[in-house]
Amino acid sequence: MFEGQPKGLWTLALANTGERFGYYTMLAVFILFLQANFGWSSGTAGTVYSSFLACVYFLPIIGGAAADKWGYSKMVTIGIFIMFLGYALLSIPMGSNMVAIAAMAAALLLVSLGTGLFKGNLQVMVGDLYNDPLYADKRDAGFSLFYMLINVGAMFAPTAAIGIMKWAQESLGVSEADSYHFAFAVACVSLIVSIGIYYTFKSTFAHVLTPAVKVKAANASAGSSADDADDTKERIVCLCLVFAVVIFFWMAFHQNGATLTYFARDFVATSATGVTAMEMDVTNLVACIFIVYGLFGLFQNKGKGQIISIALIGAAVAYLVYKFQSVGEVEVNAPIFQQFNPCFVIALTPVSIALFGWLNKKGKEPKAPVKIGLGMLVAAVAYLLMTTSTLGLPAPNAANPEHLADMNPNLLVSTYLILTFAELLLSPIGISFVTKVAPEKYKGVMMGLWFGATAVGNFLVAIPTMLWGNDHYVVWGTLMAICLVAALFIFSIIKKLNKVA
């Protein structure tokens, strides 16, 4: 699974991992901070949250256009420094007056702008690693691995946010509202690590940044029918159709920081025991991931490799048995549920790569547009589960949040698992599709538009938060219907999309 990939993949992925760790540490508690610090309603906090997400994913359009003109690496570096300034400003406690709101808005704008320069351009550089014929057939697997590695940072983020907030309250005596700023400060440290990785190992991907390589790629495209005006137009149209679909996926998926977090706070049991308590500890999830990778190593390796895999599995199982014997009742915090999605991404990526690799050998691997359509269907299943499981629950109190029920935490864990299946079918495959189909001279802009579609979806995240307060089937049923309609749309144009895939 890890063999045969370009070395630059690991450098770029780990640089992104550092940045994502800080971003998701901040995001894990951001909507709760807005309510705790400013006293805003669910709808108001949801609107600010979704607007921020929209900016984060809209500005890569500008970042991509800038990179097409001035260079990807330069934009990535500038982006990291701008993000650092934003997180530094956000980490300063200023209270809840208008000055604090203005400072927060400025900080969010800086984070958004910096992310816009960093995120998309880094992924274009990853795609350029696969322009080499030696790696061309490993593009989808490479992006899946890239996606998996950046989720390592996201997996530990909720635990880091909760841990540093508790430390600040218990050791420093700060209030709950002020303790959020310590979580935001973690992002500053993570960016220092990120830029350190990027420059320390820059030699592993420097060849895709040289003007000679870019000119050679452009000349090669110019000499083929793939870059004539009609084909360029068709490619752009197909990409835009895919962008229109993914808008609604991200609207549904990013409820993890919005209505699903509200649900965790107001309707999920605040404590757990046994296996469920084990799930709340990120170290136990890491042990489960080791077991998954150990099993793959056991079947894929021989000799010493198998011995190492057996030892890894044995150590992980022993650790879980030891932890289970001593586990008691644990507190369940609403932000902790956001650790499950990245955990599942890491655990399921080798399964996804192995499955599609096996189908590829048999000549039956579905093309990227089909995978994207299937991803929308799977997302609909996740909200079907939420719809049916919450029938009979009281409607939430949107104006004055209160704990109204003690649902089993595994309802949300299961929902995140299904959404992760959808994400693996759609997100890394979609990014790979863009880098493959986009005309060379528009590659940065097209990647920016992928994130622009994500931005629109993120802005629409606010709609379900405005519905919060109605019966649960209204919120979850709406999301289910949207995902289903989007899936039907993409399958209705699948032949057109498969022509360029």
pLDDT score, position 1:
57
Report, as an integer, the average pLDDT of 44-51: 88
Helix (H/G/I), strand (E/B), else coil: 331 = strand
Q: Say how many residues make up the chain.
A: 501
Does residue 337 carry a pLDDT above 80? yes
The 3-state secondary structure of 1-28 reads CCCCCCHHHHHHHHHHHHHHHHHHHHHH
**Per-residue pLDDT band at 11 (split at 50, 70, 90):** very high
Calculate mean pLDDT across residues 138-150: 84
How far apart CA 353 and CA 86 sit, in angstroms, is 36
Q: Are 349 and 424 in contact (CB under 8 A)?
A: yes
State the pLDDT at residue 216: 45
* 8-state DSSP, 133: T
Instruction: Tell me the average pLDDT of the chain.
Output: 88
Q: Where are the domains of the chain?
A: 7-270+332-500
Distance CA 127, CA 147 (A): 13
Q: How many H-runs (helices) and E-runs (strands) does the chain carry?
A: 20, 2
CB–CB of 417/345 below 8 Å? no
Is 60 exceeded by the pLDDT of residue 214? no
Closest-CA residue to 213 (of 129, 124, 121, 118): 129
Kindly compute the dihedral angle of the four CA atoms of residues 98, 101, 103, 109, in this order, to the nearest 10 degrees.
-140
- Per-residue pLDDT of 466-495, as tens digits, reads 999 999 999 999 999 999 999 999 999 998
pLDDT value at 215 more than 60: no
pLDDT at residue 417 in the model: 96
User: Residue 131 has what pLDDT?
Assistant: 83
Across 167-191, average pLDDT: 90
The 3-class secondary structure across 356-394, one letter per residue, is HHHHHHCCCCCCHHHHHHHHHHHHHHHHHHHHHHCCCCC
Q: pLDDT at position 2, please?
A: 63
The band of 170, judged by pLDDT with boundaries at 50, 70 and 90, is very high
Residue 271 has a pLDDT of 94
Please write the tens of the pLDDT for every residue from 384-424: 999 999 999 999 988 788 888 999 999 999 999 999 999 99
d(CA 145, CA 288): 18
With contact defined as beta carbons under 8 Å apart, do 316 and 291 qualify? yes
Q: Can you tell me the mean pLDDT for 156-169?
A: 89
Q: Is 363 left (phi over 0), alpha (psi -120 to 50) or beta?
A: left
pLDDT at 219: 46
> CA 259 to CA 276: how far, in whole Å?
22
Q: Inform me whether the pLDDT recorded for 336 exceeds 80.
A: yes
In the chain, % of residues over pLDDT 70: 96
- 153 — pLDDT class (breaks 50, 70, 90): confident
Q: Helix 42-58 vs helix 443-459: angle between axes, to the nearest 10 degrees?
A: 180
Q: Is pLDDT of 42 > 50?
A: yes
pLDDT value at residue 314: 94
Residue appearing with tokens 């899936």: 487
What pLDDT does 109 receive? 94
Cβ atoms of 19 and 5 closer than 8 Å: no
Is residue 217 predicted with pLDDT exceeding 60?
Answer: no
Q: Is the pLDDT of residue 452 over 90?
A: no
Q: How confident is the model at residue 226 (pLDDT cuts 50, 70, 90)?
A: very low
Does residue 299 surpass a pLDDT of 50? yes
Between CA 343 and CA 333 the distance in angstroms is 17
- Flag whether pLDDT at 320 surpasses 80: yes
Q: Is the pLDDT of residue 213 over 50?
A: no
Dump pLDDT digits (tens) for 361-373: 888 889 989 999 9
Domain 7-270+332-500 coded CATH 3.30.420.40: no
Question: Is the pLDDT reported for residue 227 higher than 60?
Answer: no
